[in-house]
Amino acid sequence: MWHIAKREIYDNLNSLRFALTTILLLGLMLINAIVHLQEHPVRMQKYHDAVTESLNRLRSRTNLYNIAQGGPGYLYKKPSSLHFCADGGEEFLADNIHGGFYAWATDGLAGFWQLDYMPATLNSKNIRPDTIKIDWGFVIGYVLSLIAILFTFDSISGEREHGTLRLTLANSIPRHTVLIGKFLGALVSISVPFTLAILMNLLVISTSSEVQLGPGAWSRLGIIFSVAILYLCLFLALGLLVSSRVRQSAASLVILLLMWVTFVVFMPSTVASIASGFSASMTYDQFDQRARQLVNELRGEYDTRLEGTREDAAKKMELAGEYVIKDVTERERLSQEYLTQQHAQIQLARSVTRISPVVLVQHLLEVFAGTGFERHQQFVENVQRYAREYRGFVSDMDRADPDSLHIIGTYEGMSKKPISPESIPTFEDTLSLSRDFNAAAIDLLLLMLFFVVFLSGAFLAFVRVEI
């Protein structure tokens, strides 16, 4: 088997395609590294500036009522240091959630803050042409798979055409050994330039002092590299499958290329667009209408109940506090529902597009690079957890003060002790690898399944084929 693999490798190393592959991959990875080095410090700077500003504003509040009413302000998503692996459509995802939106203020009462999930503001002022980002996702998903096809389309059919396959099999070598040998040969001869390109890319990136990769990042990179190799294997197996089924290598290439174009270039967006039509989220107008209605209803309820109390100040305050809290919970529930519907629509479309292997690999890359939709959901969860913590802090501080009336929602009913700015909880956006593994498990399994199916298909086809 090693003999065959070795022969394949020698054949490939001298070929035109090997040289072109090396140049192409090195060039793309170099561009990727340079762009990352230019963009990442800017991104980080922007993030740090925004976080500092938001924190300063939060810490300028010393009064518990102001803290409870105004909210934590803008909460920002931390940019991933592995942004160069997968861009993940970050520009279409909001990079912050505003924890400070309140709807109304009337006679001594003010609505409390809620989480406001603003959509990303598309840069509609950008008139520069649209291009796909050159990230690892592009290099692996598009270029590497195309190269895999170009290396394998003639590995069986070509030898059959030349008659050398007959010679090989005339020696007492089992057929599956030939197949595995060819597979390994192609794998090694593509992995070499690919690994070289990746190493060069990482070398360029890690030389810069501004962009630092921690140990966590390196282990993530390791996983990404294995995913890339698995994906490469998948396309090699597919190439071998088609190559052993089809008599002529030209026909085999045509089939493979058209499959590649359909599955890799078109399937992801076309299927996603079709699938997103199956589930609909409420429209912005509907949401807006419901929100207004909700605010008015609660207000009406409060007003009628207020009339019921006869000039009883304590009772009035209690009612006011109840109203303010109910108002904010209901409003937040509604915007949560709107967000959930939107996410569900995207989630469905993303699940359906899993029939394309390139989508699987892109999901995996996004998850491990800490960008994209999964990461965004994680960010939303982090923010929601923080919001609970923040509200917990307010009620704890209030409970700790014996002078307070413990009516959260009104100025008079709450503790008036000054709060030290350092004790206010601050938001920390985190990433956990274990959670990422959970999110990635299904994609990883599907990718392996694809690989196993293709490889066994290639094996069956090759064993039964006439030479």
Q: Which of 244, 224, 240, 191 lies closest to 447 in space, CA to CA? A: 224
Question: Closer to another protein at the Cβ: 2 or 10?
Answer: 10
If the CB atoms of residues 276 and 335 are measured against another protein, the closer one turns out to be: 276
Beta bridge mates, 74: 98
CB of 86 to another protein, least distance (A): 13
Residues 6+ apart with CB under 8 A from 215: none
Contact 186, 18 (CB under 8 A): no
Least Cβ distance, residue 192 to another protein (angstroms): 18
Structure tokens, 79: 């940019």
Query: Are the C-beta atoms of residues 397 and 406 closer than 8 Å to each other?
Result: no
Least Å distance, CB 35 to another protein, is 5
Nearest distance, CB of residue 20 and another protein, angstroms:
5
Least separation, in Å, of the C-beta of 434 and another protein? 25
Rounded to a whole number of angstroms, the CA Rg of the chain reads: 29
| Shorter beta-carbon distance to another protein: residue 220 or 350 | 350
Within a 10 A sphere around the Cβ of 399, how many other Cβ atoms?
12
Between 60 and 273, CB nearer to another protein: 273
Q: Residue 335 or residue 345: which is nearer to another protein going by CB? A: 345
Q: Which of 81, 57, 50, 84 has the alpha carbon at shortest distance from 71?
A: 57
State the minimum distance, in angstroms, from the CB of residue 306 to another protein. 26
Hey, what's the torsion of the CAs at 14, 20, 21, 25, to 10 degrees?
A: 140
Helix (H) or strand (E) holding 113: none
- Name which of 129 and 402 has its Cβ closer to another protein: 129
* Separation between Cα atoms, residue 444 and residue 231, nearest integer Å: 10
Q: How far is the CB of 8 from another protein (least distance, A)?
A: 15
CA distance 374 to 364: 10
Contact (Cβ atoms closer than 8 angstroms) between residue 447 and residue 227: yes
Q: How many CB atoms lie within 10 A of CB 443?
A: 23
Binding residues (CB under 8 A) for another protein: these are 15-17, 20, 24, 27-28, 31, 34-35, 38-39, 89, 92-93, 119-120, 122, 124-134, 138, 142-143, 146, 150, 154, 158, 249-251, 253-255, 257-258, 261-262, 265-266, 268-270, 272-274, 276-277, 280-281, 283-285, 342-343, 345-346, 349, 373
Could you identify the residue written with the tokens 């912050």?
Answer: 96
- In the complex with another protein, which residue's Cβ is closer, 225 or 373? 373
Closest CB 285 distance from another protein, rounded Å: 7
Q: Which is nearer to another protein, 27 or 174 (CB)?
A: 27
Residue among 24 and 446 whose Cβ is closer to another protein: 24
Separation of alpha carbons 238 and 284, rounded Å: 45
Go through 106-132 and write b for each residue having 16 or more CB atoms within 10 A of its CB, e for each that does not.
eeebbbbbbbbbeeeeeeeeeeeeeee
Contacts of 162 (CB under 8 A, 6+ apart): none
Q: How far is the CB of 92 from another protein (least distance, A)?
A: 4
Name the burial class of residue 280, with classes exposed (0-12), middle (13-18) and buried (19+) by CB atoms within 10 angstroms of its CB.
exposed
Rounded to the nearest whole angstrom, what is the least distance from the CB of residue 276 to another protein in the complex?
A: 6
Bridge partner residues of 75 (DSSP): 97
Q: Which is nearer to another protein, 143 or 407 (CB)?
A: 143
Rounded CA-CA distance 253/249 in Å is 6
